[in-house]
């Protein structure tokens, strides 16, 4: 039985997304405008939230209000700073973040990478979302919010994770794999961390304490950086050529010089001979190249004698985040 001294605070940070979206017609699940409803209003409209909190306090804060396809580095930085500040408070037992689904996996990985010091406090950061707008006949956002709060209040919960459709995914493994269904995310062959069932977490594996892809810089150093390194993603495919890479190497008056490239190779990161030659020219020009795979599951295995570093198990979009953070050191 919890005493008054045991009761703490859950902080919900809003960033917009479909979960905060509205459409003119309640039956329209795709023609909506994202990021229309404030996080405080979203939370006020969730049936059963008071029961889910079990006496704990819920506090909300609007960090941003965007469609997550338009996520920016500035929002990432502000979000990381706010998460770090809240986690450092003794009365806060966890942070929940409402977010759009399109770039959710990138934001989750970014927070995982830049908050190792904060996460040593063994507190959870739970990102959640929706595939249907708040105005839908049967919105999925309210249940996802209830599930996210349930996970954040689970004793021992820690690390950055994503909760969607009753499934809990680790930040390293989570990927959006479907364009429409409410259960749009997967952890691939790594498998989910657990499942939320009637407000209770059934944990399938240990909490991921080892931050194997962490950057040695925190949110404050990122905020102080003058600019983020420019890193682009290219893909291998039948009939591939050097054209895209060669174009990216050309100076652009409206963009900084290219610092890194992530290549989404076929299979185990294999590359068309012309694309490989172009990437080698990029390396000679001082661009760092990382080899990932366009496959949805599995990880690129190191190849002896390869000119390019592998992505250390990361998907192309997460490998891009990791490479930007690495380059930011120099």
Alpha-carbon distance values, 30 to 1, 64, 182, 185 (Å): 45, 22, 12, 18
Cβ count near 44 (within 10 Å): 11
The active-site residue, picked from 18, 77, 103, 128, is 18
- Reply yes or no on whether 18 is catalytic: yes
Side by side, the strands of the sheet bearing 159-164 are 57-66, 9-16, 92-98, 124-128, 159-164, 167-170, 194-197, 200-203
**How does 159-182 read in b/e, with b if 16+ C-beta sit within 10 Å?**
bbbbbbbbbbbbbbbbbbeeeeeb
Burial class (CB within 10 angstroms; exposed 0-12, middle 13-18, buried 19+) of 218: middle
Transcribe 290-313 into DSSP letters: EEEESSSSS-PPP-TT-SSEE-TT
* Residues 129 and 101: beta-carbon distance below 8 Å: yes
Q: Going by DSSP bridges, is the β-strand pair 194-197/185-186 parallel, antiparallel, or unpaired?
A: unpaired
Report the catalytic residues. Answer: 18
């Amino acid at each position: 039985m919890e005493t008054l001294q045991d009761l703490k605070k859950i902080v919900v940070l809003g960033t917009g997304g479909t979960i905060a979206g509205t459409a003119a017609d309640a039956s329209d699940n795709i023609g909506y405008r994202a990021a229309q409803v404030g996080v405080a209003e979203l939370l006020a409209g969730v049936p059963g939230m008071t029961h889910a909190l079990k006496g704990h306090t819920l506090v909300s804060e609007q960090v941003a209000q965007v469609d997550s396809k338009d996520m920016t580095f500035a929002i990432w930085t502000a979000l990381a700073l706010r998460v770090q500040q809240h986690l450092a408070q003794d009365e806060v037992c966890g942070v929940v973040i409402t977010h759009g689904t399109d770039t959710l996996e990138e934001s989750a990985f970014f927070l995982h990478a830049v908050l190792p010091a904060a996460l040593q406090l063994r507190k959870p950061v739970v990102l959640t979302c929706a595939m249907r707008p708040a105005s839908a006949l049967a919105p999925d956002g309210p249940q996802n919010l209830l599930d996210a709060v349930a996970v954040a209040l689970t004793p021992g919960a820690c690390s950055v994770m994503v909760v969607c459709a009753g499934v809990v995914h680790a930040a390293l493994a989570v990927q959006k794999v479907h364009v429409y269904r409410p259960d749009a995310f997967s952890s691939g062959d790594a498998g989910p961390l657990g499942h939320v069932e009637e407000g209770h977490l059934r944990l399938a594996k240990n909490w991921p304490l080892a931050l194997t892809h962490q950057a040695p810089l925190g949110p404050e150093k990122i905020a102080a950086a003058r600019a983020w390194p420019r890193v682009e993603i290219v893909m291998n495919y039948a009939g591939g050529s050097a054209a895209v890479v060669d174009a990216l190497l050309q100076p652009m008056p409206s963009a900084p010089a290219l610092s890194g490239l992530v290549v989404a190779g076929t299979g185990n990161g294999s590359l068309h001979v012309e694309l490989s030659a172009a990437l080698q020219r990029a390396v000679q020009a001082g661009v760092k190249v990382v080899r990932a795979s366009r496959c949805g599951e599995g990880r690129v295995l190191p190849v002896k004698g390869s000119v390019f570093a592998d992505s250390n198990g990361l998907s192309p979009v997460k490998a891009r985040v990791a490479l930007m953070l690495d380059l930011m050191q120099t």
